[in-house]
Amino acid sequence: MLADKILDPRSGQETLGGIDMIVRRNAFGRQNESFEAGVEVQGIEGGPVEGVFIRAPWVESVGARAEVLAEHDGHIVAVRQGNALATSFHPELTGDHRVHQLFTEMVRAVR
């Protein structure tokens, strides 16, 4: 939703934009190909976070304004730009709140 451009969008699908990136929807597979994997996220200490990938996109490319925070299997899966944060995985589905903590710290820093 935060990508400036989506590759292979559904008919009529639009994006809100806001992060200088191009994403490919469902790149890791459909619903039945969902998986979990540890993801090292820049700015988060204490080891990898558990990434829950459900119909997950990956980021094909980022522009100069965006910062890559994480990759999985050679694909970008976490990006930030200003106080916006996008992940290909669902951090809200785990008990680990470090991604949410990073986000709140980002928002507080941009005042």
The Cα–Cα gap between 110 and 52 comes to: 28
Task: Measure the CA dihedral 3/27/73/82, to 10°.
Answer: 10
Note the pLDDT tens digit of each residue in 51-78.
Answer: 999 988 999 999 999 999 999 999 999 9
pTM: 0.90
Q: Which pLDDT score is estimated for 14?
A: 77
Q: Which pLDDT score is estimated for 88?
A: 95
Of the chain, the percentage scoring pLDDT greater than 90 comes to 67
Whether residue 111 is predicted with pLDDT greater than 70 in this model: the reply is no
Domains of the chain: 3-109 (3.40.50.880)
Q: Which pLDDT score is estimated for 8?
A: 79
